[in-house]
Amino acid sequence: MVLDDVGGSAIFDKLTNRLGSLFPRSETRERVAGYVKGLLSQCQRKTCWQLAEWLGEDSPHRYSVLT
Protein backbone atom coordinates (compact mmCIF):
# COMPACT_ATOMS: atom_id res chain seq x y z
CA MET A 1 0.00 0.00 0.00
CA VAL A 2 1.36 3.42 -0.89
CA LEU A 3 1.21 6.38 1.49
CA ASP A 4 -0.93 8.43 -0.88
CA ASP A 5 -3.45 5.60 -1.08
CA VAL A 6 -3.55 5.26 2.70
CA GLY A 7 -3.71 8.95 3.58
CA GLY A 8 -6.72 9.76 1.45
CA SER A 9 -8.83 6.69 2.10
CA ALA A 10 -12.08 6.72 4.04
CA ILE A 11 -10.95 3.73 6.09
CA PHE A 12 -7.79 5.55 7.19
CA ASP A 13 -9.85 8.62 8.11
CA LYS A 14 -12.20 6.49 10.20
CA LEU A 15 -9.24 4.85 11.93
CA THR A 16 -7.53 8.14 12.76
CA ASN A 17 -10.80 9.65 14.00
CA ARG A 18 -11.32 6.66 16.24
CA LEU A 19 -7.75 6.74 17.54
CA GLY A 20 -7.87 10.51 17.86
CA SER A 21 -10.45 10.31 20.60
CA LEU A 22 -7.81 8.63 22.78
CA PHE A 23 -5.44 11.62 22.56
CA PRO A 24 -6.68 14.96 23.90
CA ARG A 25 -3.92 17.07 22.31
CA SER A 26 -4.15 17.87 18.60
CA GLU A 27 -0.38 17.56 18.18
CA THR A 28 -0.45 14.02 19.52
CA ARG A 29 -3.37 13.11 17.26
CA GLU A 30 -1.37 14.36 14.25
CA ARG A 31 1.66 12.33 15.34
CA VAL A 32 -0.45 9.20 15.73
CA ALA A 33 -1.87 9.68 12.22
CA GLY A 34 1.65 10.10 10.83
CA TYR A 35 2.90 7.07 12.74
CA VAL A 36 0.07 4.90 11.39
CA LYS A 37 0.76 6.18 7.85
CA GLY A 38 4.39 5.21 8.30
CA LEU A 39 3.49 1.75 9.54
CA LEU A 40 1.24 1.18 6.54
CA SER A 41 3.74 2.66 4.09
CA GLN A 42 6.36 1.16 1.81
CA CYS A 43 9.09 2.20 4.25
CA GLN A 44 11.46 -0.78 4.39
CA ARG A 45 12.12 -0.84 8.12
CA LYS A 46 9.59 0.32 10.65
CA THR A 47 11.87 1.71 13.37
CA CYS A 48 11.08 5.07 14.93
CA TRP A 49 14.18 6.59 13.33
CA GLN A 50 13.32 5.44 9.83
CA LEU A 51 9.65 6.29 10.13
CA ALA A 52 10.55 9.78 11.35
CA GLU A 53 12.96 10.27 8.45
CA TRP A 54 10.41 8.92 5.99
CA LEU A 55 7.81 11.35 7.37
CA GLY A 56 10.28 14.25 7.13
CA GLU A 57 11.02 14.73 10.82
CA ASP A 58 14.40 15.64 12.30
CA SER A 59 14.34 13.07 15.08
CA PRO A 60 12.24 10.12 16.21
CA HIS A 61 11.52 11.47 19.69
CA ARG A 62 7.94 12.43 18.93
CA TYR A 63 7.22 8.93 17.65
CA SER A 64 9.18 6.93 20.20
CA VAL A 65 6.75 7.93 22.95
CA LEU A 66 3.95 6.28 20.93
CA THR A 67 5.62 2.87 20.90
Find out whether 65 and 27 touch, Cβ atoms under 8 Å.
Answer: no
Neighbour-count burial for 30-52, b at 16+ CB within 10 Å, e otherwise:
ebbbbbbbbebbebeeeebeebb
The model's confidence at residue 1, banded by pLDDT at 50, 70 and 90, is: very low
Instruction: Give CA–CA dist 44/28, Å, rounded.
Output: 24
Query: Across residues 11-21, what is the average pLDDT?
Result: 87
Amino acid 16: pLDDT: 86
Domain ranges of the chain: 3-64
Amino acid 6: pLDDT: 62
> Residue 22's CB: how many other CB atoms inside 10 A?
9
* % pLDDT > 70, the chain: 88
